Structure 1
């Protein structure tokens, strides 16, 4: 599976940092701040997160935990995402 360079940044960032925010816009801002050296539009970042979700590399970041009254945003790798990051590190 080919991973775009921006999606690779998303995966590496999720691997090394716990990204948690009260909503999707704040979460995307947090992600962009963590990778401030990468030039990309907010739409590019959203597309990369969506691609990673579609590929099964990250869980859907919008969550409603049991008992919660409101959703929050949490970027978390799936086991396949962890394996992909490790493969990127080795390769």
Structure 2
């Protein structure tokens, strides 16, 4: 149970390179000075840069960091709304 509690809502320690890549990818999508499609392209460029610089393991670290941070945000939002995090995720990612 402790491992599950530790895994939920806890963002793993990130290398400086991964932290910079996470920030760049998120800001690329959120930036309002270009279109959403351009933001996706820029985020893809960030991911490609991580792959080129750090290889597949670096790309895995980036994905895990982004997923962990998203999960933490979903848990916080679910708690604020009296929902289970898993239910909030199901609602958020409905097909």
TM-score class, shorter-chain normalisation, is 0.3 to 0.5
TM-score by length of 2: 0.35
More strand by share: 1
> Larger C-alpha radius of gyration, 1 or 2?
2
More helix by share: 2
TM-score by length of 1: 0.36
Where relative contact order (Cα < 8 A, 6+ residues apart) is larger, the structure is: 1
